[in-house]
Amino acid sequence: MLAPLLLSLAVALPVGLQPTAPNLPVFGGGKFVNIFESDAALTNASAHIGWSLAVPLAGKLVGGRKGLWTAGLSWIALSLTQETFFHAPPNPGPAYPSEVRADLLTRILPCAALLAWDLFSSGTPPELTPEPPRPRLLLLMPGIDLPRTMPAGGLSLAVEDGGASPGHGGGRAPPAPGADASVAEPQSTLGGTGSGASGE
């Protein structure tokens, strides 16, 4: 209940609303609800029903089934908090309990019906705990170029020229045993230096 209370304070204080003493006369006297007493009460109830359906459906659109339940439970908690701490007038009249019951029914019942239908259709409640972050391993090695995507045949490492250790021919793989060295290690064609030039 702490998070909805803080959210209510953040919304109510800038517009001049101040929290009152806790007052939720659900079991008070008077009529059961006052929805059909006036056009203003009917309009207010219609707006409550619209928001009660829109908030959880918007959560489902953003976060799937988990978003539906997170937004729906938050809306229910926020409705209870506002009706308890921010709705009561300074001197409530005898018809105030029927107004509170009408507000709670129109704000909570449609949202609760959506959650109940989701629970009935799926059979199990969603897991609302946050998922642990997945570990990521990043290897930074000089001379190793890692592909951005995993190829179908597996991961292969490409060694750039100049990145290998000295004695391996400037980045080339050493010749296989028994192979002709002249094929694995071509002679330099730069001006007359090396063993090939001295033999001419």
- Does residue 165 lie in a domain region? no
Looking at residue 160, its amino acid is E
Model confidence, pTM: 0.57
Asked if residue 135 belongs to a domain, the reply is no
Which one of 24-33, 80-89, 104-113 scores highest in mean pLDDT?
104-113
Give the single-character DSSP code of 88: -
| Residue 179, token pair as written in the block | 């192979």
Instruction: State the total domains in the chain.
Output: 1
Per-residue model confidence as pLDDT tens digits over 107-150: 999 999 999 999 999 888 787 766 666 665 555 556 655 555 55
Contacts of 191 (CB under 8 A, 6+ apart): 197
What number is the average pLDDT over the span 17-35? 85
Q: According to the model, what pLDDT value does residue 62 have?
A: 93
In this predicted structure, the answer to whether residue 174 has a pLDDT above a threshold of 90 is no
CA gap 41, 167 in Å, rounded: 89
pLDDT at 152: 53
Domain membership flag for residue 48? yes
| Residues of the domain holding 125 | 39-129
Q: Which residue has the tokens 């391996």?
A: 168
Could you report how far apart the first and last alpha carbons of the chain are, in Å? 93
The reported pLDDT for the residue numbered 196 is: 45
